[in-house]
Structures are given as structure tokens and as C-alpha cells.
Amino acid sequence: MRFNPMTSRASDIDNARTESVVHVWDRTTRLFHWVNFLCVLGLICVGTVILYAGDLAIPNDGKIALKRLHVWIGYAFLVNLTWRLIWGFIGNAYARWSAVLPGGKGYVSALKSSIRNVLSRDPEPHAGHSPLGRIAVTLLLLALFVQGISGILLAGTDVFMPPFGDYFAEWVATPNKDPSLVQPYAPETVNEVSYAEMREFRSPIIATHLNTYYALLALILIHVIAVVTIEIRKGGNIISAMFSGRKSLPEDLRSEKESVN
């Protein structure tokens, strides 16, 4: 059988016609994603250096500077995360919580189908998040919120920065001394007993922050592997969609609402 370039070209055109460009991620969702990426990357890098500051022989002044930088990045991270929480109620159909969180009509059957497809190494393309993707995104967001809340508390107990720094400074300050004079790594500015009580109070918060840090590393790794794998196997412009907002999908997904409405 001879190869007919015209037939092949016609077939390619027909196949191309089965694809449709769908606008999925609005500008605010894309902006959140990349700001969150930069903040989390910065927090992980600085936080890892802080975690191993002793092994790196970083002096106390260096530790304080790193922790304050960590907190400032954390402020930006929390503002961005809070805005995403609000946007989940007012954004486009794919940005809303009904399209992000697991659940809704037909979700269980769609999840079973999604699991079967993944196990058979034939993941289906989706306009928004896939049923499995919703679970992954929910776990990521929960971990981010836990990390943000525990981090803002530790900012107060460790380097006495807002919004809780004044409260913890008053707790540990030497009696009859101005709490504003309390400084990190300056034992002469604190009451030894009160400081020990505060350290005991913050101990489970530190454990939560550290364990969530490791959990986030694992979740981020799984997220990256899943996105790259699906991009290679199925295309659909998953990565570029977070820049352009558009995905290339089968025609029957042009009006797909992913059970979000």
C-alpha cells in the first residue's frame, strides 16, 4: 500500500479538528499559582537553611536575619493564599471551590474512572482539575494553610514579629521591663521561667510546622511528577495553560463543565 501524502494530510486535519482550545484558568488563578510557586520556593530554600543552621555554623545574627526574611516571604505567601480562598467563591467556573474540592454530583464514579485510567497509564484529559487532581490540590491547600498558620505563630515566638510578636514578648519579658526590648537570642532580655513556658507552648507548633514541611515536599514532588507525566503522555498544554489560561482539549470537552455548575 502506497503512502498518500494528501490522504495523510487530510487525516491530520481531521484529527486537528477534534481538538479545541478551551479557556480554563483566569488571570487571577494564574497569578496566584506563580506567586505561590515563588513564595513556596523561597520559603523552602530559606527554611531549609534555617533548619540546618547549626550544621552550617551560621551565627545568631545570621539566623535572625534568615528567620526575618522567612517571615517576610511568609507574609506575602499568606496574603496570596487568603486571596485564593476568596477567589474560590467569586472566580470563574474552574477556579471556584465546587470545581476544586472533591465532591459533587457524579464525583465518586468519575474518581473511579480516573483511577482506572491512571492505573492503565491512559489518563483522561480534563478542562479543570481531574477527580484525582482535586484530592491532590485539596491536600496541597490544606498543607499550605497549616504551614501558614503555624508559621505566623512561630514568627511571634521566635523573632517576635507581628501579628503575635508583642503578645509573646510580653509573656517572656523580664518583670518591670519594656517588652519592646525583648530580642531573639538575647537571654538577658527575658524571664527564664516565662521563656521556658513559652517554649513549651510552641513545641507542638514547631513539630506541626516541621512535619508539614516534609509533607509539602512530598506533595509537591507528586504534583510535579503527575503534571509532567500527563503532559508527556497526553499533552493538553497543562503547563503552558498556567501561563496562557488556555488548554488544547478534545472537541467534546469544549463545553465541559467538569460537574462544576
Model confidence over 46-104: pLDDT tens digits? Answer: 999 999 999 999 999 999 999 999 999 999 999 999 999 999 999 999 999 999 999 88
* Residue pair 24/248 in contact by the 8 Å Cβ criterion: no
State phi, psi for 19 to the nearest 5 degrees: -100, 150
- pLDDT score for 232: 79
Of the pLDDT bands very low, low, confident and very high (cuts 50, 70, 90), residue 127 is confident
- pLDDT score for 1: 42
Of the pLDDT bands very low, low, confident and very high (cuts 50, 70, 90), residue 128 is confident
> Which H or E run includes 56?
none
pLDDT in tens, 206-248: 999 999 999 999 999 999 988 888 777 766 578 888 888 888 7
Position with higher pLDDT, 7 vs 46:
46
Of the pLDDT bands very low, low, confident and very high (cuts 50, 70, 90), residue 199 is very high
Given a cut of 90, is residue 120 above it in pLDDT? no
- pLDDT score for 144: 97
State phi, psi for 103 to the nearest 5 degrees: 125, 180
DSSP reduced 3-state for 164:
coil
- pLDDT score for 228: 85
- pLDDT score for 126: 75
Angle at 247 between CA 19 and CA 222, to 5 degrees: 120
Calculate mean pLDDT across residues 164-183: 93
> Which residue reads 530559606 in cell numbers?
46
Output the pTM of the full model: 0.85
- The superfamily in CATH containing domain 22-249 is Transmembrane di-heme cytochromes, Chain C (1.20.950.20)
Percent of the chain having pLDDT more than 70?
86
CA 219 from chain center: how many Å?
Answer: 9
- pLDDT score for 14: 42
* Average pLDDT over the chain, rounded to an integer: 86
Could you please report the per-residue DSSP string of 71-112?
HHHHHHHHHHHHHHHHHHHHS-TTTSHHHHSS-STTHHHHHH
- pLDDT score for 45: 97
